Amino acid sequence: MSGTTPSKQLADAATALEAALKAVEEAGLDPMPLLGALRGPLEMIDGAATRMREMRREGVVAAYPDRSHAVWQIAEASGLSPALVTRYASDAGLEKRNRRNENA
């Protein structure tokens, strides 16, 4: 029972990935072995990154109807622009909110 938060686990995984990339670079592989070494991990990373983007979009759409969070707060928490937050909400069929009333 480590008590590690999901965001800490993701940060630790990213740190481990950086260390692994550095090791691959330092190995000085020729081009073909390098491509082979990167192919499998890249497929996994691409899948994970796509899943994280989907989770972020789902989170934005789920948070948007809660008017206790302004659009700019959702944007800041998600790392997206307020316009993209509004677009995601609109694409999901949610009622648009007035972003100018940030302090309301």
Would you state the pLDDT for residue 103?
A: 53
Examine the pLDDT at 62 and tell me if it is beyond 90: yes
Whats the size of the chain, residue-wise?
Answer: 104
Q: Is 99 exposed, middle or buried, given 0-12, 13-18 or 19+ CB atoms closer than 10 A?
A: middle
Domain annotation covers residue 102 = no
The residue segments making up the domain with residue 15 are: 6-91
55-76 burial by CB neighbour count: b if 16+ within 10 A, else e?
eebeebbebbeeeeebbeebbe
Asked if the structure places residue 100 within a domain, the reply is: no
Residue 103, domain member (yes or no) = no
Summarised one tens digit per residue, pLDDT across range 9-61 is 989 988 998 998 899 899 999 999 999 888 998 999 999 999 999 999 999 99
Residues 43-57: tens digit of each pLDDT: 999 999 999 999 999
State the total domains in the chain: 1
**Can you give the pLDDT at residue 37?**
86
